[in-house]
Amino acid sequence: MRTARVRCVVKDNDENIIYLGGWDEGYRNRWRVSASQCIKHIQSGEWKYYVEEGGTKASIIIKHDKGRYALRTEQDGNKKNNLMNMRRCPD
């Protein structure tokens, strides 16, 4: 299983996350993946995504909500869903 740290998101007008993104420590390699692709990666066990804030890691999980799948973080004591508070990914 491969692991990726999510550092930014892109939301639509309804505040739904449509892309997740990140970069390596040297900012040389940026990446972006659609929320639907991220869900497929997690379901297949191919990838594990997480966020990190203040040295605390929270895994990104899939939640079934209102008839569809949505991404959120496990509770880590900081915020209810860290993904909703992340900065916007650069274009």
SS (H, E, C) the chain: CEEEECCEEEECCCCCEEEEEEECCCCCCEEEEEHHHHHHHHHHCCEEEEEEECCEEEEEEEEEECCEEEEEECCCCCCCCHHHHCCECCC
The pLDDT tens digits for 15-74 are 999 999 998 777 678 999 999 999 999 999 999 999 998 888 899 999 987 888 999 998
Is 37 domain-assigned? yes
- Work out the pLDDT band at 75, boundaries 50, 70, 90: confident
pTM of the model: 0.86
The pLDDT tens digits for 2-11 are 999 999 999 9
Is 90 domain-assigned? no
Is 17 domain-assigned? yes
- Is residue 78's pLDDT more than 70? no
For residue 81, what are the domain limits?
2-85
Is 22 domain-assigned? yes
**What is the tally of structural domains in the chain?**
1
Is 91 domain-assigned? no
